[in-house]
Structure 1
Amino acid sequence: MDGRPAQGWCGLGQHLQQVRPHQPVRGLQGVRLRPGGWPPRTVRLCHDGSVPVSTSTRKPAARSTASSRVDVRKTYKLYIGGKFPRSESGRSYEVFSSGRSPKFLANAAQGSRKDARDAVVAARKAVSGWAGATAYNRGQVLYRVAEVMESRRSQFVAEVQAAEGLTAARAEANVSAAIDRWVWYAGWSDKFAQILGGTNPVAGPFFNISAPEPTGVVAALAPQGSSLLGLVSVVAPIIVSGNTAVVLASQGRPVPAITLAEALATSDVPGGAVNLITGITSEVAPWLASHRDVNAIDLTGAADAPDVVWGDLEAAAAENLKRVLRPAGSGVMAIEPDFAVEPGLSRIEAFLETKTVWHPKGI
């Protein structure tokens, strides 16, 4: 009305400063600085340089919540007394896949003679409880191992395929055979005594009864080539009769053995009934062979083991009259057996003692 331009909102901005907690003061002064995460906006200034009161702000941009995650790498340990300790030596060694282009798989714990002694102590403590269980109960436990392995089939297949350089189909067949081998031995748990024992004819009014009993603590060298099926074929016949086992896994292919130990730990197998050590065979095997508290030893894994002469291990085992299961083959030419064939009862019988009882018949 007085001829001057209308001030409108711009005039009001000369006297009032809006309260905008989300916007810095310098933004109100027309300086285009924004808080972190907020998109820049164009500030339209009035003719006199002030900020319009009605200037609207955009919604803040959504903050990015995506972040890179570091994978949890698996630490491969020993299995002693139902627990997973590291080697007391603190050492480890690299494990590579088989094939033309080996790839790094894991750092496995390199067990020492102290670890072997600890495993024997744990196995000895477990003898009374495991041997004292009923044959039916031991069969149930072995069957439970097969169930747990079945639930982790894909993991076993991948590890066997990498360790042995097999095709996917052959690795699948290998794992299936290993699972079935547990079921096979579980079925024999309450039957082998009738086959390997019985009544004996004698001249006199007596019952003469022979019954098989477990030997005690059995050390075993797992096969070097067959990382899972061979391992199961060695361990299952030892423990099905009530023995406890100290197993030295394949030196170059220990990963499936460690995964099997995880299955054993969740399969009702008592702690100490099976103890598994990874490491250099030539370093640990002599101490197991000469250990005075080991009652028997399976030398199957001495075949193809670097720097291992199974005859020397057999001689060391003779110091306390251990039972010795020699590797397959003849003489010094030890070979790894074909674990795909049905094993029979020979491996169960190898680690049994026979007790004979005389009892009068009476009138």
Structure 2
Amino acid sequence: MEPRETPKTSAKSGRMGAVTEKPRVPMAPTAMAMDRSSEGLEAVPKGLLRLAGGLTAGSYMIYVHPRRAMLLRRLCCRFPRPRSDGGSSETMPYQEIVFEIRNDAAWIGINRPEVRNAFREQTLDEIAEALNSTRTDPTIVAAVVYGVGGHFSAGGDFHAMMKLNKANSYMWNDRMQMVAMTCRNLPIPVIAMVEGACVGGGHELMLWCDLVVAAEDSIFGQTGARVGACPTVGATQYIGKLIGERRAKEMIFLCKRYSGAEAADIGLANEAVPAAELLARVEEVVAQIKGYSSQTIRSTKVSLNFDSDALYPSWQHGMELLANIWGTEESLEGMNAFLEKRPADFHQFRKRNRAALDAYMDDFSEGRNQSESSRRAREG
């Protein structure tokens, strides 16, 4: 498509004159050019194409607010196109995940075993990118999310999370929501294959998946109260729906943990098997899905998610709450204590709050919560 002429009003005459100019986009957007080759073009999700502000013969030009530009650049500009070929296997190049198409399934492994697969911003970008890329190959029947090296995920990497504050919180929160919504919106089932630690943000990642197959000795838990984090991007919304409000509060307030076998018994996981049989069982589930109607699975996934999709405002609310947590002294105390392998001293903040409240009440009772002139007038 050739560049088209855009009407522009003359400042002097007010008449419309045909001049060639770049379309005006508000809020100083970032322009992102994307390859318009046959594969690169097809790889861009339709939802992002609607953001297009202009087209040229060789590329799409997407105009987007700078705040979102970095995320969209990763999702659009270097979108891989997976290919599935029966029993063949193809591995895609990533830095923090392993992505492989095998037996018509996408296998996405968090590859940071040195930190029990704790994730940072780049990890979340790559997970979302890999999941989204499955849309370009209709022969992919399911996506399997797992952890490399014996653990599903220990959650967020504190070395990344300790750099967050209210001003930059969206850099983390938006990515968490991006991965969550990608899992829920994909037309194929997303399966969590859980072994080892599945705690904190890793537990929330598991909650976003459609099906969960766990090793019997794996560990499920929320650690926010222990480390000063706030699990409001999935945990507070979904755990209560799965295992009941009382157990959810116990899991979140008291950091109660469940084994994989217990998780299956109470409804956090679909089933638990011996660790040695986990991979084979997940492959059986994938093969079973392959034999069923894709349009039925796609449509019923949308319908089944309808009720919990209504919780989306709670996600937004939760991310705002989380923004107020990042960077606080209490949050940093919890994370530092974890890294230093010592008990966190959270009670110091309760004592500080008590002292502040006592000072307020003293001022209130002595009438010091008013101007001096008002005080003299009342005393007179």
Identify the structure with bigger relative contact order (alpha carbons < 8 Å, sequence gap 6+).
Answer: 1
- TM-score under structure 2 length normalisation: 0.23
- Calculate the TM-score normalised by the size of structure 1: 0.24
Bigger helix fraction = 2
| Greater gyration radius | 1
